[in-house]
Structure formats: C-alpha cells, structure tokens
Amino acid sequence: MALRGLTVTGGTTETQDEVCVRGALGTLRERHLVASRAPRWMIRLFAFLVVMGPGIIVMIGDNDAGGVTTYAQAGQAYGYSLLWLFPVLLVVLFVAQEMVGRLGAVTGVGHGKLLRSRFGKFWAAFSVFDLFLLNFLTLLTEFIGVDLGGRYFGVPATVSVPVMALLLCAIVLGRQFYRWERFVFLLIGVSMLMLVLPFLTGRGRVADWGQVAHSLVVPGVTGGLSTTAMIFIIGIVGTTVAPWQLFFQQGSVVDKRIGTRFTNYARADTFLGSVLTNLQGAALVVVGAMAFVGTKLFGQQSNALHLARGFAHFVTPALGTAFAIVLLNAALIGAATVTLASSYAIGDLFGVNSSLNSRFSEAKGFYLSYVASVALAGGIVLLPHLPLGLVNLGVQVLAGILLPSALGFLVLLCNDRELLGPWRNSPWLNVLATMIVGLLLQLSLVLTIGTVWSSVDITVVTVLTSIPVLLATVAVGVVQRQREGRWRADPVDLARRQDWVTPPDVLERPLPPSKGRTAVLGVMRAYLVVAMVLMVVSFVSLAH
C-alpha cells in the first residue's frame, strides 16, 4: 500500500511522533489522506503503511524462482530435517537488513556509494562486480523459473521468456518508485499462496505436523551431514539471505526518502518481511517432504517442472498447478528486485543517477543497465541443453559463499563513527553480527574441507570449526564491553540521534588507514577466490 502525505487536523496538541508523521510524510510524495481528529494509533498505522515496502519487498523478493525450487528440493532430498534452519535465518535476515536499512535512512545514499567512499574504488568495484555476477546468474534462475513454470501449462519458452522480459522493462519505465512498488505489492499478495500449499492434500498424503514441530527446534539432517547436505544448507542460507538484498533495501530506502524519524516503522517493515519470507520457505520444504517422502523420488533433486509434476502425480493436480503459479509469480518478483538492485549498485559505483523517480534522459545508465541485463539473461535461457536444475542450485550456493564478505563490509560501515555517529551499532549487536558472519564462514569452510578431502567426517569438521567461531564471538564481546562499558547503546547517543546528520564531507573521503582492517580485507578477498574455485569443483563432481 502506498499513501501520499498525511495531514492531521482538529487536535489542540500533538505528540512528537505526531509532529514527525505530519511533517515528514509529506516528503515521501505519496497520496494525500486527510484524517480529521485522527487518534494516535491511526496516525502510527498510517505512518507504517507509508514507510512499509523496502523491508517486505526485499524479503519476499528473495523467495524467488530459485528460492522456491531450492526449498522444495530440500524437502524432496532431506524431508523435514532442514526446517531448523528457518528460525536461525529469521534472526540472521532481520539483523542484516535492519543494519542496511539504518544505513540508508541515516546517510541518504546507496550501499555501493558508501563502499566506494569509505573503502575506495577497488573494494567498491570488487563488491559490485561480485554482486553483478551473482545477480545476473540469479536473473537467469528467474527466467528458468518462467520457462519451467510456463512449460507446466504448455506455454513454450519462446513465448513466456520474452513476455516476462517486456513486462519487467514496462514496470521500471513507469518513472515513479511508488508505481513500481504497487505492482510488486500485487505480486507479494499472490506469493502468500505459498502458505496454503501444505494444506492442498490428496491421495493420503498429508504433512506430518509433529515432525515439522520437532524439526523446527531440533537440528539434524536425514542421513547425516555430508558434502551434498552442506551444499543444500548453504543453498538455503544463500537463497534466504543474499548479498543483493543489502544493495536493494538501502537503495529503496533512499529512493522512498525514508529518514531517521521513521526507523522504528522501517524496522517493523523489515521484521514483518523476515517472518513472512521464512514462513514461506518452511512451507515449501514441508510441501516437498509431504509429496516425496516414501516415494522413489525421495532423496533426489528434481528441477521445478518435475517438482510440479511430482506434486500433481503424488498428491493432487491442484498442488501441481498452485506450485507452478507460485513459481511464475516468484520469478517475476525476483527478477524485478534483483535487476533493480544491480542497477542501484552500478549507479552508485559510477556515480550516476540511479533512481526510479528519474526520467530516462536523466538516468540513462541506470535504465540501460537494467534493460540490458534483462535482455541478455532472457536470451541465455533460450539456449538449448542448459542444465537448469544445477544452475539454480549453484546460484544459491554462490550467494551463500559471497554473503560473509558482504556482511563483513556492512558491519564495518555500521561501526563507522564518522558516518553514523549515534546511530552506529550497539555492542550487543556487534557481538551477534560477529557470530553470524563466523557461522557463515564456517559453513563455507566445512564445504571446502569436504570438497578437498571427500573421506573426512563432516560432523567432526563442523564441531571443530565451531570452536574458532565461539572464540571470536567471545573476544569481540570482551573488547566491546571494555571499550563501551555497556551492552546497549549509550543513552547520550540515543539523545543525539534526533539531530544527527551525516557530515557531507564524510561521504567523500575514505576511512582512516588501519593495518587490522587491511589484513581483514585481504583475508576476505583470498577467502572469496578460494571458496568460489572449490564451489565450481563441488558442482562439477555433483554433475557427474
């Protein structure tokens, strides 16, 4: 829902919240709504509805065609046993996206621009190149989803793929962010069908809700941990929390002109999106397990078309049809958001206009990069003999591998005193963020070890690699406690937040030199190179 402005009349006094709502919502340039003598709860509701968008869209957008397929494949391959990942990912997702939303609201500039100004052009280009490569591959999975979903209904790829490409270009060339946002909200409404899928039962197949409840709280993997299981775990992490989300949410917060007065509403938007996206992902795992456990296809990895046909064959045709609709809808949401995230990042890197509120003549590079990505990805998917299922899983795993470095940069930015001042991370959040990044690095390390030494016991490796993650988290906690003297934000900083404005010159100069930061960035670069090479090795062996 999008509103344009809010005027409150008839009251003799106003709270600070009401003043902020009445004064600041007008800058969003949304639809006018006059509420005579509106009660405070209504004002807060109106404020949330105006701010709502970036958080929910970025979360649901990540449940794209690749995500829908990966979740259902996880249920097919491992039953209900991977459901415990979703409560964990709910925390990871909210923490990461709250930080990036706060960055956008406080600084008023995109994620790529902050990387360029504070870490230099090299690291900005390195991050944006990784992002662009990943996003382009992700866009391929969206067109793969349209191809397979269309085939389920008898529509050839030569029809479905070009139609989707034209639709994607049409919604962006509307030249206003709120129009694009309304269209995506319509798609989000359709995506709620994912929550209904586990209840479309038939042929004696129903979800085992007792096993669902158990698997949500008790970690485990059917058949034990293995390299293949680690690939699926990283794939689920990568499709639930992806690097492009950082660029998209910060860019859309800036595009929508959400300032610091509305950070609480923005957090609520982000939390609601985090809950919905994890519920949807868990529902798809349940559907995959419900349909295939006990059949000859259990333990295998089918592409989206075969999944839809399997749902129709083993459960009910209604489930197959609903899954195909969900797949097509998810592909459109994912393509719209991922491609826009790439255009935001490229605009930030090269310092060009990158706003949906701009005319084509004012932001040619922004719009042309968007259209070119759509056209090229659609053309590649039309090539014959493309290994669709493997490409889809590979993209999700690549996202999981790139995520620790993206979050590492995010944590550094959110601790930048010059940039955020009183809005920087509180000590407890730094401890939690350290643990999250450490766990993500651990997943990649376990996959790497399992790839190089195939005979190693993955369970033992997982336990051993947990030790440095725990030690690093404790060390950061000790340092934060000694430096700040408290776990929560300083009350003085909280009082300063209302008047804080990021100095313009800070956005134009790099962070002060630091040997420790240079070493960390060097290790990060080496990690990315090694992890991606070994990921390719893993998937070559998996293909055979």
- pLDDT (tens digit per residue) in 234-257: 878 877 777 788 888 888 888 888
Residues 173 and 251 in one domain: yes
Residue 506 lies in a domain: no
Residues 148 and 186 in one domain: yes
Average pLDDT over residues 9-13: 38
Question: Highest mean pLDDT range out of 80-84, 471-475, 483-487?
Answer: 80-84
Residues 140 and 211 in one domain: yes
81 exposure class (CB count in 10 Å sphere: 0-12, 13-18, 19+): buried
H helix or E strand, kind and range, residue 7:
strand 7-9
CA nearest neighbour of 334 among 462, 459, 242: 242
Residue 501 lies in a domain: no
Instruction: Report how many domains make up the chain.
Output: 2
Residues 142 and 285 in one domain: yes
Residues 307 and 372 in one domain: yes
Residues 204 and 150 in one domain: yes
Contact by Cβ (8 Å): 30, 2:
yes
Measuring CA to CA, how many Å separate 178 from each of 5, 182, 247, 256? 13, 6, 18, 8
**Domain-terminating residue out of 51, 73, 92:** 51
Residue 500 lies in a domain: no
The larger pLDDT score, comparing residue 499 to residue 469, is at: 469
Contacts of 193 (CB under 8 A, 6+ apart): 322, 325, 326, 329
> What backbone phi and psi angles, to 5 degrees, belong to 202?
175, 165
Record the tokens describing residue 145, joined without a space: 């989803």
Query: What torsion, rounded to 10 degrees, do the Cα atoms 232, 236, 237, 239 define?
Result: 130
**0.75 exceeded by the pTM?**
yes
- Its domain, for residue 9, covers 1-51
**Domain-terminating residue out of 51, 67, 88:** 51
Residues 39 and 61 in one domain: no
Contacts of 100 (CB under 8 A, 6+ apart): 111, 245, 246, 249, 250, 410
Residue 509 lies in a domain: no
The larger pLDDT score, comparing residue 526 to residue 354, is at: 526
Domain with residue 399: its CATH number is 1.20.1740
The larger pLDDT score, comparing residue 2 to residue 324, is at: 324
**Domain-terminating residue out of 35, 51, 67:** 51
Residue 503 lies in a domain: no
Lowest mean pLDDT among 17-31, 217-231, 265-279: 17-31
pLDDT of residue 22: 42
Average pLDDT over residues 131-154: 87
Residues 6 and 144 in one domain: no
* 449 has a pLDDT exceeding 60: yes
Residues 38 and 66 in one domain: no
Q: What is the pLDDT confidence band of residue 396, given thresholds at 50, 70 and 90? A: low
Residues 47 and 148 in one domain: no
What is the total residue count of the chain? 544
Q: At what angle do helices 263-292 and 54-62 cross, to 10 degrees?
A: 20
Residues 26 and 74 in one domain: no
Contact by Cβ (8 Å): 357, 177:
yes
Residue 508 lies in a domain: no
The mean pLDDT of the chain is 81
Residue 511 lies in a domain: no
Q: How many other CB atoms are found less than 10 A from the CB of residue 362?
A: 13
* 25 has a pLDDT exceeding 70: no
Residues 41 and 141 in one domain: no
